[in-house]
A and B are shown apart, each in its own frame.
Chain A
Amino acid sequence: MSLKNSERPDGLRRVAITGAGTINALGHDVPTTLAAFREGRCGIGPLEFRDVDRLSIQIGAQVHPWRAEDYFNRQQILLYDKFTQFALLAAKQAVAQSGLDFQGALGLRSGVVLGTAGGGLNTWDENYRTVYEEGKNRVHPFVVPKLMNNAAASHVSMEFGLRGPAFTVATACASSNHAMGLAFQMVRSGAAQVMLTGGSEAMLCFGGVKAWEGLRVMSKDACRPFSANRNGMVQGEGAGVFVFEDFDNARARGADILAEVVGFAMSSDAQDIVMPSAQGAERAITAALQDGGLNPEDVGYINAHGTGTAANDKTECAAVAHAFGHHADRLMISSTKAMHGHIIGGTGAVELLACIMALRDGVIAPTIGYQEPDPECALDVVPNEARQARVDAVLSNAFAFGGLNAVIALRRA
Chain B
Amino acid sequence: MTDQIRNRITAIIAEQAMLEPDQISDDSTPQDLGIDSLGLVESIFALEEEFDISIPFNANEPDKSDFDISTMGTIIAAVERLVAQKAA
Residues of B within 8 A of A309 (CB): 59-60
The residue on B at minimum CB distance from A216 is: B59
Cβ-neighbour of B59 out of A56, A220, A229, A310 (below 8 A): A310
State which residues 217-244 of A face B: CB under 8 Å.
Answer: 217, 219-220, 229-232
A231 in contact with B60 (CB, 8 Å): yes
B54 in contact with A217 (CB, 8 Å): no
Give, as a whole number of angstroms, the nearest-CB distance from B53 to chain A.
13
A217 in contact with B59 (CB, 8 Å): yes
Cβ-neighbour of B58 out of A216, A273, A275 (below 8 A): A216
Q: Size band of the B side of the interface?
A: 10 to 19
**Bound form: Cα–Cα A341–B70 in Å:** 31
Residues of A within 8 A of B44 (CB): 216
State which residues 22-43 of B face A: CB under 8 Å.
Answer: 36-38, 41
Residues of A within 8 A of B41 (CB): 214-216
A219 in contact with B60 (CB, 8 Å): yes
Give, as a whole number of angstroms, the nearest-CB distance from B57 to chain A.
6
Question: A274 at interface (Cβ–Cβ under 8 A)?
Answer: yes
**Bound form: Cα–Cα A231–B65 in Å:** 11
Residues of B within 8 A of A273 (CB): 38
**Bound form: Cα–Cα A275–B36 in Å:** 10
Residues of A within 8 A of B58 (CB): 216-217, 219-220, 231-232
Interface mask (A190-232 → B, CB under 8 Å = 1, otherwise 0): 0000000000000000000000001111011000000001111
A214 in contact with B60 (CB, 8 Å): no
**Bound form: Cα–Cα A85–B11 in Å:** 49
Residues of A within 8 A of B38 (CB): 273-274
Residues of B within 8 A of A232 (CB): 58-60
Residues of B within 8 A of A216 (CB): 41, 44, 57-59
Interface mask (B52-75 → A, CB under 8 Å = 1, otherwise 0): 001001111100100000000000
Give, as a whole number of angstroms, the nearest-CB distance from A354 to chain B.
24
**Bound form: Cα–Cα A231–B62 in Å:** 10
**Bound form: Cα–Cα A110–B73 in Å:** 63
State which residues 305-333 of A face B: CB under 8 Å.
Answer: 309-311
**Bound form: Cα–Cα A311–B64 in Å:** 16
Residues of B within 8 A of A220 (CB): 58
**Bound form: Cα–Cα A230–B61 in Å:** 8
A274 in contact with B37 (CB, 8 Å): yes
The residue on B at minimum CB distance from A307 is: B60
Give, as a whole number of angstroms, the nearest-CB distance from A376 to chain B.
13
The residue on A at minimum CB distance from B61 is: A231
The residue on A at minimum CB distance from B37 is: A275
Q: Point out which of B36, B37, B59, B60 has the most chain A C-beta atoms below 10 A from its C-beta.
A: B60
**Which 7 pairs across A and B sit closest by C-beta, in order of nearness?**
A310-B60, A216-B59, A232-B60, A231-B60, A231-B61, A216-B41, A217-B59
Q: Apart from A217-B59, A220-B58, what are 14 other A-B pairs with CB-CB below 8 Å? A: A214-B45, A215-B59, A216-B58, A216-B59, A217-B58, A230-B60, A231-B58, A231-B60, A273-B38, A274-B37, A274-B38, A275-B36, A275-B37, A309-B59
